[in-house]
């Protein structure tokens, strides 16, 4: 299974991110390209331990089961998956600036991971789980915009 801790995988994600521009349109969902790129940038900040969000009660009950389901194989994440309310972006802005920030965060995975990360839904993650989940999340949104 692909992991963001692999250089070739990071390079693939960065190449795909670079195909996005202000005219990219979603194959599903309600997000515009700027909203998706900013959502992914904020999500990466969370996965690197730069920002923290409170644990969802439902995640305490079902989080580990859901994580095992998501990571059991290489299948992409499902369309229209729920997200943390704090990561729902409503504004518009400069796609190229957000892309640059997202790419820089993807590159940070080469040198670091957040051992104390507690995902708001899935809970505490191992490095291996984090690497796979980061890839799957980015892949999901890049597929959403046909990149």
5 phi and psi angles, rounded to 5 deg: -80, 0
Residue with tokens 């991110």: 17
pLDDT digits (tens, 9 = 90+) for 120-141: 999 999 999 999 999 999 999 9
CB 116 within 8 A of CB 47: no
Position with higher pLDDT, 80 vs 10: 10
Handedness of CA 47, 53, 57, 58 (dihedral sign): negative
**Residue 81 confidence (pLDDT):** 86
């Amino acid at each position: 299974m692909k992991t963001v801790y692999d250089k070739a995988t990071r390079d693939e994600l960065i190449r795909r991110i670079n195909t996005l521009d202000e005219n990219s349109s979603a194959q599903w969902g309600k997000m515009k390209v700027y909203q998706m790129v900013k959502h992914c940038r904020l999500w990466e900040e969370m996965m690197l331990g730069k920002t923290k969000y409170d644990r969802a009660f439902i995640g305490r009950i079902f989080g580990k089961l859901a994580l095992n389901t998501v990571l059991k194989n290489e299948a992409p994440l499902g369309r229209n998956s729920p997200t943390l309310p704090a990561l729902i972006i409503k504004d518009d802005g400069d796609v190229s600036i957000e892309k640059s920030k997202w790419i820089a965060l993807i590159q940070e995975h080469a040198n670091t991971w957040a051992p104390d990360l507690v995902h708001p839904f899935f809970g505490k993650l191992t490095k291996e789980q984090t690497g796979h989940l980061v890839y799957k999340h980015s892949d999901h949104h890049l597929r959403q915009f046909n990149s």
